[in-house]
Amino acid sequence: MIINKFILVLISLFIQLSISVYSQTDWVRWEKSDPTYQKKDTHLNRDFDLSIQSVSDVIVKPLINAYWFFVSDVDGANCPFHPSCSSFLVQSIKETNPFKGTLMFFDRFTRDTNVFGRLEHYPRYGTNHFYDPISLYTLDKEKIKIIPTNTFINE
Amino acid sequence: MSNKIFFLLVVILFPIYGQQIDIHSPKNIKKFADFLFCDKDYLRAIDEYKKYLQVVEDDTANYKIALGYSLINDQSNALQEFSSINNSSALYEQSRIEVLKSLSLSKSDSAFYLLANNLINSKSQFSNNAQRLLNTSILLNENELPDKNKFLIPFESDDKLLLGNYYDLKINPPYKSETVAGILSAIIPGSGKIYTEDYGDGITAFLLTGLFTYLAYTNFENDHQTRGWIFIALGAGFYTGNVYGSVASAQIFNAKVNFNFENGLKLFLEDKNYFTPAYDFCK
Amino acid sequence: MIFVNKKILVIILVAITNLHSQTLKDQFSYANELFNEGKYFDAITEFKRLQFFDSENQFSFQSNILIGKSYKAGAKFDDAIKYFTLAEISSRNDEEYFNSNILKARTNILRRTNHQAERILNELLVDTKFKSKENEIKYWLGWNLIFLDEWKKASKIFLENNLDTTLSNLCISVDDKMYSVNFAKYSSYVIPGFGQFYTGEYVSGLLSLSWNVFAGYLTVNSFIEDRVFDGIITANFLWMRFYSGNTQNAEKFALQKNLEISNKALNYLQFQFKGEKP
């Protein structure tokens, strides 16, 4: 009986301490909130887009969308990275130019083929992807933003 | 007679005790505020101190409000509150060094340097703290550094070694040359990436370029022209892609050097609490 | 004289204690009012003030429970659970112990730490002191199963002793609409594209089937024509790829469709269901 009470007091003290350590909840005033019961879909979905915004889009967009529709969406999620290699190609062409974009794509494909050391090299995205944005490879130093490898990104 | 004295005592003491029971009395509000502050519930503590200050003038409460804002990282409010502390107060000197910390955190460079130099030149009680914070900020933000020995003077001996290393890193950062990386990969595919310490990617690039070159060669040998040209194109793609990727890899390597440098210094500053004196409100 | 003085002293001491007690009662009413008005942040401040001055812990349980409820209303579930645990520790009787545990279980359900909720509710269920509260415990066990996506089991619990026929019917209808993920996946192992047809994704199913037939034809043809290396390459980079992609997609579509169905039901439960919610 005495031991039970003693244990309860210890638990109570531990909780009080952990509450004070975690008081960060109340460092900003908050109001009543009713978060949704619904669960999020963790599967990554394709961003099909046929809008023409530049000259290269006329060729690239139909080709890429056709590839996504007929091939990529049927052979499973094989790219360990986010954005996927084909999306990487589209984004890099959009951001730079077709020639530079193609070079970036070949380099990305090389990194895709190397199956070793990904955990130590790339931050994580979602449940089972690695984050590898084009901004690191445009040769524009201002755009490079280093994210530590043990970070989880959930956009 | 003794009865009368007794009743008199009761009549005098009762309201005093009554005030102690009133938990919304200024004294009790302050007690509760002190408890909240030490419990790290800073926003609530700030509200309570503000209520207390409506009735009583107390610069410790002013200081704690400002400190609370600083600790919850609301630097603009912290600066406003610190500025309300009178220069005749006992906490004035301490508040100046806290202002310096807030200015550093809110990245108000010009105001920071002005105040730092002010504190150093005024030979205040905390001028050494200010010098330490100033020197560390110079290491973080500026390109021109003073002489190393002069730079290390204000710091404690434990920190001199660490900061000396950071100083050397700043003067001589271990960058990789983008040109060298590109040229190496042009000569031997993948070697540029090995130079930038991307060993796995370097070897993979070498193997892929090699594989497609070999496939092109065997297909041409066996008179499969179309396939030969396809493999040549792919091989060339991987080759040039790798040269490009090696240059990018050098850039990323250098960006990581900068990131680790800044991060390390920021962690050091946080560990030292930006060289502000420890407060003893909660002992 | 001295005796009279002592009597008066006792009366005064009692009066002072009552005054203190009354002050705390007033503070409790004030904090409670703030809670009822939905001003949860301020309510917590006032309850904390009450606790600070309540040296005898008269209001320990009530204040901890209401602080926990305030955090729960603000969706600060970790803090809510901590305060419900403190309330459990400061509970003075079985009723209070039960209430604090039920609130802890409900918060765990909302936080989706469902196994903890299950553990708490099962412990209450086996406790003979709470035999009369069995229905209430089972009601929350049912909700916990809903959040665990086990609609059939939830329906069974709500059906026991007609606990809640609305919820039972809703759960069984959700379960009926759902696709079998295992059936989608394994049928696609046997016939590529079948799982996709089963989940209504006809285009994807057709594409999967076509690719698998085409790749299979190329592979077999290569082996027949004694081009073993070509056969291995085709099998590995073409056939295997589309075959595994096919089963991946079958599973993915089944999961996505099921998620849509369960989310619709959860949305109804959150905003239109009139009964008690976690």
Whole-prediction pTM: 0.86
Burial of C180: CB neighbours in 10 Å, binned 0-12, 13-18, 19+: middle
Mean pLDDT calculated for residue range B27-56: 95
Q: Which of A80, A78, A84, A79 is nearest to A119 (CA)?
A: A80
What would the two tokens of residue A155 be? 């956009």
Within a domain: A13: no
Helix ranges (H only) for A114-154 are 118-121
Among C92, C111, C126, the domain-final residue is C92
Name chain A contacts of C82, Cβ cutoff 8 Å.
Answer: 15, 18-19, 22
C-alpha–C-alpha distance, residues C108 and C116, integer Å = 7
Q: Is residue C102 part of a domain?
A: no
Provide the sign of the torsion angle of the four alpha carbons B5, B8, B10, B13, taken in this order. Answer: negative
Could you tell me if A21 lies within 8 Å of chain B, comparing CB atoms?
yes
Asked whether residue C200 is assigned to any structural domain, the reply reads: yes
Cβ distance A43 to C256 less than 8 Å, yes or no, reads yes
User: Cα(B114)–Cα(C248) distance, rounded to whole angstroms?
Assistant: 63
Tell me whether A148 touches chain C (CB under 8 Å).
no
Q: Which of B44, B199, B244 sits opposite A104 (nearest CB)?
A: B244
Here the tokens at position B233 are 């194109």
Contacts of B1 (CB under 8 A, 6+ apart): none
C212 to each of A79, A143, C218, how far by Cα in Å? 20, 43, 10
- Residue B101, Cβ density class (10 Å: 0-12 exposed, 13-18 middle, ≥19 buried): buried
Domain end residue (candidates: C92, C110, C142): C92
**Residue A120 belongs to domain spanning:** 55-153
Tokens found for residue B55? 């009735």
Chains meeting A at 3+ CB pairs closer than 8 A?
A: B, C
SS3 A81: strand
User: How far, in Å, are B107, B108, B124, B176 from residue B93 at the CA level?
Assistant: 21, 20, 7, 46
Residue C124 lies in a domain: no
The total number of structural domains in chain A stands at 1
Residue ending a domain, among C92, C107, C132, is C92
Query: How far is B43 from B259, CA to CA, in rounded Å?
Result: 33
Asked if the structure places residue C258 within a domain, the reply is yes
Count of structural domains within chain C: 2
Tell me the residue range of the domain where C192 lies: 181-269
Among A107, A113, A141, whose Cβ lies nearest the Cβ of B245?
A107
Q: Say if A151 is an interface residue toward chain B (CB within 8 Å).
A: no
The per-residue pLDDT for range A38-95, each reduced to its tens digit, is 998 887 777 777 777 777 778 878 888 888 888 888 888 888 898 889 889 989 998 9
Backbone angles phi, psi at B88, to 5 degrees: -90, -5
Apex C124 CA angle, C119 and C127, nearest 5: 125
Residue type (1 letter), C13: L
Nearest CA-CA partner of B36 in B20, B52, B59: B52
pLDDT string in tens for chain C (278-residue length): 555 667 777 777 777 777 777 789 999 999 999 999 999 999 999 999 999 999 999 999 999 999 999 999 999 999 999 999 999 999 999 999 999 999 999 999 999 999 999 999 999 999 999 999 999 999 999 999 999 999 999 999 999 988 889 999 999 999 999 999 999 999 999 999 999 999 999 999 999 999 999 999 999 998 898 888 888 888 888 899 999 999 999 999 999 999 999 999 999 999 999 999 99
3-class DSSP assignment, residue A82? strand
Residue A153 β-bridge partners: A125
Separation of alpha carbons A129 and A152, rounded Å: 10
Q: Does residue C251 lie in a domain region?
A: yes
- Residue C152 located in a structural domain: no
The closest of B59, B121, B56 to B95, measured between CA atoms, is B59
